[in-house]
Amino acid sequence: MGQSQSGADKEVALENIQELYRKFASECPSGKLHLHEFKKIFGINRNSSEEESAYMENVFRSFDTNKDGQIDFMEYVAALHLVLRGKLEDKLKWSFKVYDRDGNGCLDRQEVRHLVKIINKIKRHNDPSRSGNIEEICDRIFELVDKNNDCQISLEEFIEGAEKDPWVMDQLKLDIGPCDWFMEQQEKKT
């Protein structure tokens, strides 16, 4: 559920998305998806790291637009559309919302440090050769993205920085690969 457009190369067909809607209806007969079910969908379990779990909780909260602690069918539809078919800018706006933990409309050093730590830990789990000093990465992100040097990254700075600099994009995205995950789920059914 990161910002990469890799899924655009093999876009999920509309009929496959409709299958996800049917699956929601069958697995969530109450019409509500709870956090533990959401985590299960993305493979977050007791063996997952604290960072992975925290990240998925932030993702869940970003999709729970009415803040009732559940994702209803309309929130689910909106989330699927964004993740599977959304434009890069929309995905960046969503990511910013996930990362802006205090909801004040900007990312401070603590929030950037926290997100870089989470993203690095998860990426390292998938690629053990990956390394990087969190403080150095955070400093470089601010150097490249914080154009007005106010020690905060606005949404506009975030989008501009991620779109213009591939390194920044790599540091700020966590591509859970929803299209790949969806295709894997479809293959398991056949």
User: Phi and psi of 141, rounded to 5°?
Assistant: -60, -45
How many whole angstroms separate alpha carbon 54 and alpha carbon 10? 29
Q: How many Cβ atoms from other residues are within 10 Å of residue 26's Cβ?
A: 8
Q: What is the pLDDT of residues 31-48, one digit of tens each?
A: 899 998 888 877 788 887
Q: Which two tokens stand for residue 79?
A: 């989330």
Report residues of the chain scoring pLDDT below 70: 1-12, 125-126, 173-190
Class assignment of domain 6-189?
Answer: mainly alpha
Q: What is the pLDDT of residue 184?
A: 53
Q: What is the pLDDT of residue 108?
A: 95
Q: What is the pLDDT of residue 125?
A: 66
Sequence-ordered alpha helix ranges (H) in 43-172:
50-63, 73-85, 88-99, 109-126, 134-145, 155-164, 166-172
Amino acid at position 20, single letter: L
Q: Which is it for strands 32-33 and 71-72: parallel, antiparallel or unpaired?
A: antiparallel
Radius of gyration, alpha carbons of the chain: 17
Q: Give domain limits for the chain.
A: 6-189
Q: What is the pLDDT of residue 140?
A: 92
CA dihedral 104, 81, 3, 89 (to 10 degrees): -60
Q: What is the pLDDT of residue 79?
A: 82
